[in-house]
Structure 1
Amino acid sequence: MAFYHIISRREAALAVADLSTGSRSWPIWTHLGLMDIRQRYRRSRLGQFWITLSMALFVGGIGLVNASLFKAAAADYIPYLAASFTVWTLVAGLANDATGVFTQAAPFLRQAAIPKTVFVLRVMTRNLVAFAHNLAIVPMVFLVFGVWPGTTALLALPGLALLLAAGFCAVHAVGVLATRFRDLPQIMQNVVQLAFFLTPVMWRPEQLGPQARALLSFNPFAVYLSLVADPLLGRAPPLGTWLAGVGLLLPLAGVAWILFARFRARIPYWL
């Protein structure tokens, strides 16, 4: 089917305007994203630092238990868990929050013509803030166990950029579908839970055989996790992982564009 049969010129122009105007409205989406974090820990003594404390307790407790179960040295396993689980919280947070990006914004969307992209960037902002709080644990763990990733850690920046680009597209696509099909949030929660066990967060890829390890390149969660977590641990991701990250992003961006441009105007009526 020709592209213009899927999206009309008017729909494409309105979608571009939404993306452009929404991206420039950074005071709105940064305020909303930060307000979401503040509301979650309202009246708490520690406030947002509960995010950091929870991560520290998890890494310390589960790290010691799993190091014993996997018969690995704690000094080797706990830094790995700290880096991988920190990145996983960002990946899983974006996936889960994508299902409520527009339904959560229903009071705004029903009353004003606000660009839908504002609420996508709201989700991105609050997950990035939580990620920054969790990331503070990683250098502390590295310092305790004497881990120094060197300049390889800088590769985490382009990896994070790819992850955020994929997340931006996924939140748009999943957000549109979840607004129309209200069973999708429950489906996504189960998908993310299953992906947690199929992604090398608690275990290392080296623990798999060569054939099973090759299948990880078809797991988008594992690909984007590796692009950020591996450099933090001083390991440069192989070229194949970078290519997989780009290769997964391109069709995801295409699907997100089609869904958003085609059904953007219907979102307020589905709420």
Structure 2
Amino acid sequence: MSLHPTSRDWRLAADDFLRGMKSWQIWTLMGVSDIRQRYKRSRFGQFWITLSMAVFVAGIGVVFSLLFKQSVAEYVPYLAVNYIIWTFMSGVVSDSTTAFVQGTVFLRQENLPKTIFVMRVIVRNLIALAHNIVIVPPVFLLFGVVPDWGIFLMLPGFALLLVASFLVTLLCGILCTRFRDLPQIIANLLQLAFFITPIMWRVSQLDGRGWYVTHLNPFAVFLRIVTDPIHGKVPELYDYGAALTVIAVLTAVTWPLFARFRARIVYWL
């Protein structure tokens, strides 16, 4: 069996992508339904997402500001923004491991585009992000943080993050459907990534050391191009270049893999 996609494989993969994007009603409904189902019969419902994030930021923010000997007024807003974006990134990666497995019932009965289930993961995490992001304005208001017009630079950064999220979800979804031990490995790697990514600590605290941790870490790169504008900083051109490089590499790996094994996903389920 050849590992190289044929012209027919490429054509079917492109058709799957286009049909999947056009089926936005399906993956939007699936994403919303996932969130509702998760908090079904809960008194606070989906707002448990917001409440949990607020408690974490308040508690950890005060403790770590003392540990790092930083002003609470500076550290808590920094932590709130960074942790919210990190929660979105890690949530996408974590959920991607079961993207197709969760759609087993649908995939075995209907010839649905596989990319529908990729977008389902992204929508689900975008909804959680929307619930979490509402705590940022109150935190900024409480500590007197006034964003400038540079905050809009987060939009291109977030657009790049969404493109990378789609590719990562597709890649992990395929691999984890075939190799069922991978989800545990990815979960462990996410725990490691949390500590080596500047979420709860600042790059300046390294005093120029550990350049590879902050500049060769894809999570750190995408975190900066989204959060730096919110913190009043302009992201470096290096960060945009690094993000585009990561996207290019993901595309070069993911798209041929999807084209070649797209039809076997249902078989692996």
Output the TM-score relative to the length of structure 2. Answer: 0.98
1:74 maps to what in 2?
Answer: 72
1:28 maps to what in 2?
Answer: 26
CA drift at 1:139: 1.3
Contact 1:205/1:213 (8 A) holds in 2 = no
Q: 1:65-86 CA distances to partner (integer Å, 9 max, x unpaired)? A: 0001111000010000000000
2:36 maps to what in 1?
Answer: 38
Q: Distance in 1 between matches of 2:257 and 2:174?
A: 7
Q: Distance in 1 between matches of 2:146 and 2:42?
A: 35
Contact 1:30/1:125 (8 A) holds in 2 = yes
Q: Distance in 2 between matches of 1:46 and 1:233?
A: 31
**Code of the aligned partner of 2:15:** A
**Code of the aligned partner of 2:40:** R
Q: 1:50-79 CA distances to partner (integer Å, 9 max, x unpaired)? A: 111111100000000000111100001000
1:48 maps to what in 2?
Answer: 46
Q: CA RMSD in A?
A: 1.1
Contact 1:63/1:77 (8 A) holds in 2 = yes
Q: Distance in 1 between matches of 2:174 and 2:245?
A: 23
1:256 equivalenced with 2:263 (yes/no): no
1:85 equivalenced with 2:86 (yes/no): no
The percent of aligned pairs where both chains have the same amino acid is: 53
CA drift at 1:5: 7.1
2:188 maps to what in 1?
Answer: 190
Contact 2:81/2:136 (8 A) holds in 1 = yes
Contact 1:149/1:235 (8 A) holds in 2 = no
Corresponding pairs, count: 268
Structure 1: tracts of 5 or more residues without a match: none
Equivalent of residue 166 in structure 2, options 162, 165, 168 = 168
**Code of the aligned partner of 2:22:** R
Output the TM-score relative to the length of structure 1. Answer: 0.97
1:226 maps to what in 2?
Answer: 224
CA drift at 1:219: 0.4
Q: Distance in 2 between matches of 1:198 and 1:233?
A: 20
Equivalent of residue 155 in structure 1, options 153, 156, 162 = 153
Q: 1:227-262 CA distances to partner (integer Å, 9 max, x unpaired)? A: 111111111111111111111111111111011111
Partner-residue secondary structure (3-state), 1:210: coil
